[in-house]
Structure formats: C-alpha cells, structure tokens
Amino acid sequence: MRQRGGAAAVSGGRAESISEKIQRNRGIILIISVPLLLVAFVLFLMPRSPAEPVLVGVGRKTMPGGGGDAGSKTYAVIFDAGSSGSRVHVYCFDKNLDLLPIGKEIELFVQKKPGLSSFAENPQEAANSLIPLLEKAEAIVPLGLREKTPVRVGATAGLRALGTEKSEQILQEVRDLLQDKSSLKSQPDWVTVLDGTQEGAFQWVTINYLLGNLGKTYSSTVGVVDLGGGSVQMAYAISEKDAVKAPQVSSGEDLYVKKLFLKGTEYHLYVHSYLHYGLLAARAEILKAGDGESSCILDGHRGAYKYGGNEYTASASPSGASFSKCRTEAVRALKVDEPACTHMKCTFGGVWNGGGGDGQKNLFVASFFFDRAAEAGFVDPKKAVAKVKPSDFEEAAKRACKLNINDAKATYPLVSDDILPYLCMDLVYQFTLLVDGFAVEPYQEITLVKKVQFGDAFVEAAWPLGSAIEAVSSL
C-alpha cells in the first residue's frame, strides 16, 4: 500500500526513516542544493559598502550618520543666542541624518527678544529669559527620548562683545539652568560662545545641506554671507591650490581655511567672521565716526543708540540724511583702504578675501539682508527666497535717505519704530558691505534667503542646523 504524495512510504509495515528518505532522494537534493550554495558563496565574497560618512565637525574626525535602529528618530535642540534675540531650533533626524517633520513643520523655531547680552548686569535674568523657549522645545521631544536629546547653546557676537568675564557669568547661569530644570541631555561645554568662524562654517553646512550640495565638488557648492547683529561671516569652498596660498595668521587668531569632510568629500572652506560689522554693531562703528550728528540718520530724529553696553548720539544732521555722505561714513567705518592689508587681495580691515573662485560665484546672503530688503519693500516678505542685486539695496537706500522720519513711517509700514531712524544707514551699509567690502559686482545676481526648501518644507537658513548635524553625529 502506497501513500499519496510520495512524502513517506510503508515498507513491510515499518515507516521509512529520515536517513532512508535522504538516501533515496539524494539526487534531487544535490541538484537543488548546489546552485544555492554557489549563490551564497558569491554573495559572501562580494565587497560590502561601508557606511557613508555624513559629517565631520569643523576640522574634526569623520563621524558616521546618526545612530539607532532602522526607523529610529533622533532629536537635537539648539539655542542661537544672538545679539538681537534668542532663538531655539528643534530638529528631528532619521538614521541617515535626513530631516523628519515635527508635526506639520520640518522644525520647531521660536524666538524671543532681547538677547542674552542685554542682561549683562544680571546673568541669572539672562538665563531665565530662555525658559519659555526651553519649555516649548521640551514639549516637542517625546518623553522617552528627552534624556538622550542633546541641547546646545551657541552664543554669538553679542556675548563676544561683552568680554570674557561677563559672558562667562551669563553662560554659567545658562549651564545651571539646563542642569537643574531641563530633562534634556546637557554638558557644560555645550554652552559656549561660538567662535565666529565656527558660526560661519555651520551656516555654510546648513545651506549646502538643505540644497543637496554636500558630497559634490567644491565648485557645485554655494558661498554664504550671514549678516547678524554683532558680526558678519563669509564662507565659501575654495580649491586645494588656493587653500595652500592662505596667509599665515598670528598666534591665537582663527585660520582662514578650515577642512571639512562632508558625505565622503573633503572641502577647503574659506571662512572669516568680522566682529563689530554685523548690522547692529556697524551702526555703532558709523556713529563713532561722527561728532554727534550723522548723515545716515533720517531727518527729524534726535536720540541715542545703545549697543554693547555703550551709548552713542544718534541725531540727524541739520540738512537731513544723505545717501552719498552716508556712503562715505560707511566706507570709513569698514576700513576698506586699511593699510594693514599685506595680502594679494583683501576684503576690508586688512582681511584676506580667500581668492574667490567657483565656490563663491553663487552667493547666498542671509539674516539681516533679507529682513531689510523685505521691510524696504523690494522683496516679498512672505517668500522664503528672493533673487536680487546689490544695486537693489542702493536704490532702496536712495529712496529712504530722502525722507524725514514722519514720511518714512508712512512709507514703510513694515519697519518698526526702533529701526526706522536707521533705515537709510542700514541699507547704505548693506550695499557698501557687499560692493566695497566683499567686492560683489553691483549688478551680480545674489540669492537672499530666509528659509531653504527641503522636500516639501522650508527650513530656517541658520547655523543651528549645522550644529545639530554635528551634535547628532557625535552621539
């Protein structure tokens, strides 16, 4: 009697053993198993792709992409403690360091004025000013991930201008605040005054990351000018040949060229931060040159300007504001003809300009440049990006400088009362900075950027994203 299916047989009333089955079907097994073994052997011998390095911190070792199991999320909280205000950014990444949405947005971004430097005489009050931002940031991070989520505070030019003693007192209060009242992961050295070149480098990483340029040749990246309140940074990738030509700097000064390894590519990044030449600091530099009256202040305004713990007379000259006279004051403040320039070519204040090249041709200009352009009415404030020329700032400045304070108030409804007296000065300075300082041609097209499109979302074009990438990569 034979069972159907041939899977088993009865012989002499005894069930066939497994070894007997194998022996009887050895030919079929051999035919099936040999090809499978060959495929497995070939797969074993194939080279495996190493994990692609995503970021190296500025001048640091190669770091792999964010850790975690497939599908895991990693958060980072970054405070930008600028001279004009404090801002918090919360980012969420997948294991490949691609940004993931936080709710309906790609990031949490909240800001608050004034900045930490405004509390120079009360360090504890400075730290407490961050509490509302901290609470909103913590609420975004899932409870189970908070103790693993890095929180960093990067103070910029505003605190740098206060000097070491006062800035360190404020930073220590911030460290204590995070240690005592935050559930996020903090370390003392994560609360610091950012080096100006580090700020510029992070900004360059942010914009090129969002544009999808990292990993490409240096000539495929864009240059960045970031005009903050206390300082202005320029950063762009240069060739290795030009990097070798970088002038030597004195001990303690920032190097002109930083090496970065990003998505498997080495970049030589020219980056320089000009302290005292951010928009708010530059006002003080321009007013210093006057004798109590300025051709950059709108007619009808008399007052004082406070910056960095100092107060400057800020009153219009009897003849009112003048574009041409204000230009002269701005050029003088920039020290464009600084005799200390010992290099082949300088920007201003005796600083090497990096040599130019393909990495600088496509220039993205951020922060206060966008703000004033929107307030002056030559870019749409609702748009995240705008194509303009330096000459647009010149034309806007000429229009603003002709007005008295009352006419300007009616003409520029988007300009707040505290900015209005300085509108002529700000626009003249921005044009002068681009054309005389950075040698941008007046009719060269540049990109004003508030946010950069990333997939279907827009992300703030600010240095904290570059810092967040480094923080998550280091976990």
Strand partners of residue 228 = none
Helix axes 279-289, 323-334, angle to 10 degrees: 100
Q: Tell the residue number behind the tokens 């970065």, with chain if given.
A: 260
- Cα–Cα distance between 452 and 461 in angstroms, integer? 6
Residue 173 identity: E
Cα–Cα separations (whole angstroms), residue 60 to 144, 184, 204, 335: 30, 25, 16, 34
Helix axes 323-334, 390-401, angle to 10 degrees: 130
Are 296 and 329 in contact by the 8 Å Cβ rule? The answer is yes
Give the helix/strand (H/E) hosting 41.
helix 26-45
Residue 377 burial (C-beta neighbours within 10 Å; 0-12, 13-18, 19+): middle
Residue 144 burial (C-beta neighbours within 10 Å; 0-12, 13-18, 19+): exposed
DSSP 8-class letter at 346: B
Strands across the sheet with 293-294, in order?
Answer: 293-294, 310-316, 302-307
Are 94 and 71 in contact by the 8 Å Cβ rule? The answer is yes
Catalytic residue positions, numbered? 199
Q: Which residue, among 28, 101, 182, 75, has the nearest Cα to 475 in the 3D structure?
A: 75
